[in-house]
């Protein structure tokens, strides 16, 4: 799966880029969409992770 695939699921390419570069966390709406489309339990996507400074 690449960034263009995620754009089809989530929309906004800028926000996806920020999430992939760990400059922004997944929103609740993003988590719900990914969980539904990819059949991934939401609790896996909710786990906390550190953001990159800068």
Domain boundaries, the chain: 3-46
Q: What angle do CA 6, 18, 54 make, to 5 degrees?
A: 165
Mean local confidence (pLDDT), 16-22: 94
Mean local confidence (pLDDT), 3-23: 94
**Per-residue pLDDT, 53:** 82
22-44 tens-digit pLDDT: 999 999 999 999 999 999 999 99
DSSP string, 1-53: --HHHHHHHH--HHHHHHHHTTSSPPPHHHHHHHHHHHT--HHHHHS--PPPP
Mean local confidence (pLDDT), 5-11: 94
| CB distance 49 to 19 below 8 Å | no
Share of the chain above pLDDT 90, in %: 93
| CB distance 34 to 40 below 8 Å | yes
């Amino acid at each position: 799966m690449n960034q263009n695939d995620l754009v089809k699921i989530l929309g906004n390419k800028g926000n996806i880029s920020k999430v992939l570069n760990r400059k922004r966390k997944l929103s609740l709406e993003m988590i719900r969409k990914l969980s539904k489309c990819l059949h991934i339990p939401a609790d896996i996507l909710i786990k906390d992770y550190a953001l990159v400074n800068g």
